[in-house]
Amino acid sequence: MMAKEERPIREIHGDTLGLKPSQLHRLQATYRRRVPPGELVGPDLARHLTELSHELNRQIGLLISRKGEVEALVVGDAGRLVLPDIGRARAGQSRLRGLRLVHTHLRGEPLTRDDLTDLALLRLDLVAAIAVTGDDGLPGAVQLATLLPENPAGDLWQLEDHRSVHELPATFLSRIQALEDELAASARARPVTGAGRAILLSVSTGGRAAAESSLAELRELARTAGVEPLEEVVQLRKELDPRYVMGKGKLQEVVLRSMQRFADLLVFDRNLSPAQAAAIAAETDLKILDRTQLILDIFAQRATSRDGKLQVELAQLRYRLPRLTGRGDSLSRLMGGIGGRGPGETKLEIDRRRVRDRIARLEREIDGLSRVRALRRSRRGRLELPAVALVGYTNAGKSTLLNALTYASALAEDKLFATLDPLSRRLRFPEPEDGSAGRRAEAAGRGGRSSRDVVLTDTVGFLRDLPKDLVAAFRATLEELHDADALVLVLDGADPEHEAKLAAVEALLGDLELGDKPRLLALNKADLLPPGEAEALARGLGAVPVSAERREGLEPLLGALEAILWGASRAATGAPRVDSLPAAPEVDRVAV
């Protein structure tokens, strides 16, 4: 006689501490039950769940497949249950999990925020809560929730209330299939672009105005990087959450919204520590970017010269080095000696060592390029060519001003960091005796008869809270500023935050020990201001109003620059001509 085949014991997930063997046996028997095809949950199974839940005084939940089979049974406490790891989702955001959660609520309460979060994050077919009623634990009212496709109202789910399990729709499977078809149609309707779709996040402890200002700058950074901003989220806090920056609850809301909008990026308007980046990444499958990564990506896109690319790579490696981490014993350091004998250096440490070696090599190459630039600057010094650097906040119009003054063809775009590899051009000041003052700006750019020539350099723009690693990597670029005889600080006068940005530039110049350098403030984009306002603003700031785009106001700017370089008397009388200057109206390009 053949022995009777024993059924495998299925795992009961959750809180089973204190349960009797008979209760565990009844829970285990639940795995043998089936739901009739097309139904959400049969009346018999619903009564089985509510009676057990009433007896145990705990919530009980089932994860049921579309075939009607019980895939997992979870026991919680009186108020909630925690779902087990149910593996990877089915492919794409247009597909649902193929599982539905049916669980009990002891006090007849509606679906909780945790229930709805599980529905969205796990992409469940449906979540249903059955109320446990009466002294005998019979099933009562049922509330269920399903996801919604992308919609103008921004709703993530819809709720339905039914008085009993007998009133539940018998067309469950067809409804879920129709929902998946709508999700797929919504996904197909989205334009296909190479840009990432992002939600921009600003967490501020400094008030609403500061947060909105910072978020506006993040929006421009995202646009420059080729990222498509879908939504912007601002949270004001007394202090930042040390683990998630914005708090776990708010982060979950953002993740839910990202699923509704089919976003694939979360971009934070601050620099995240390695621990914060890891904690946030653990809460979502989305790619996490902070402000530094976004800036580095822009620099990587725009670097064209050899030294520019080297400096960008150096900054990227310095940023990534502390963020190289591994998980599990396979990436742990096994030291030599008693209790530590093993394979020695692991993959993680090999990666770190390679990064450090690459950083050292890049620093040597950049130092070599720095010496080449020093030779160029010494050559200009022998020719007695004064050097003037255009500095200022990014997108203030420095490249446009360079083009206006020297008739150069530097790239000028309405984007942040349009200039990454700075460009030097010769600015030729005409002799005062050779004609009317009104032709001074044109002669200066076109290389007319001159007694004074200046090397004018367009530099990379500044930014608030510029990452220290980025500043350190671009030290070779900043050498041009240290060797300049004067700085022309270009300010966007039409920017409502021009004062804050001017203060940021001044602070960064101070950090670079350039605070004592002679400077001239050029109030650019004066044509965008109401009549008379540019002049009044310029008087208050001690600036010269100009419009680089329209080539207006350049004559007073050149006159003020002459006075700084040669003094008022020399600016009026002219200076000896340097006959050894090259005949071409331009000097060689100077890379970053």
Which of 100, 62, 63, 75 minimizes the C-alpha distance to 15? 75
Domain borders along the chain are: 12-189, 197-289, 380-573
pLDDT at 245 over 80: yes
Q: pLDDT digits over 20-72, tens only?
A: 999 999 999 999 999 887 788 989 999 999 999 999 999 999 999 989 999 99
525/569 Cα distance (integer angstroms): 30
Task: Count the neighbouring beta carbons within 10 Å of the beta carbon of residue 480.
Answer: 22
Q: pLDDT digits over 112-126, tens only?
A: 988 988 888 888 999
121/284 Cα distance (integer angstroms): 9
The answer to whether the beta carbons of residues 59 and 77 sit under 8 Å apart is yes
Q: What pLDDT, on the 0 to 100 scale, is given for residue 88?
A: 58
Q: What is the CA radius of gyration of the chain?
A: 34
Distance of CA 204 to the CA centre of its chain: 15
Which carries the bigger pLDDT value, residue 274 or residue 343?
Answer: 274
Q: Is the pTM of this model over 0.75?
A: no
Q: Which amino acid is at 473?
A: A
Check whether domain 380-573 has CATH 3.40.50.300, yes or no = yes
47/166 Cα distance (integer angstroms): 11
SS3 assignment, position 499: helix
Burial of 139 (0-12, 13-18, 19+ CB in 10 A): buried
Which of 173, 99, 102, 114 minimizes the C-alpha distance to 143? 102
Strands 486-492 and 544-545, by their bridges, are unpaired
561/579 Cα distance (integer angstroms): 22
Which carries the bigger pLDDT value, residue 566 or residue 232?
Answer: 232
135/148 Cα distance (integer angstroms): 37
Q: pLDDT digits over 127-139, tens only?
A: 999 999 988 889 9
Q: pLDDT digits over 424-460, tens only?
A: 888 887 655 544 444 455 545 544 444 578 888 888 7
Q: What pLDDT, on the 0 to 100 scale, is given for residue 28?
A: 92
Torsion over CA of 269, 274, 280 and 284, rounded to 10 degrees? 110
| CATH superfamily of domain region 197-289 | GTPase HflX, N-terminal domain (3.40.50.11060)
Q: pLDDT digits over 516-531, tens only?
A: 889 899 999 999 988 8
Per cent of the chain over pLDDT 70 is: 78
SS3 assignment, position 354: helix
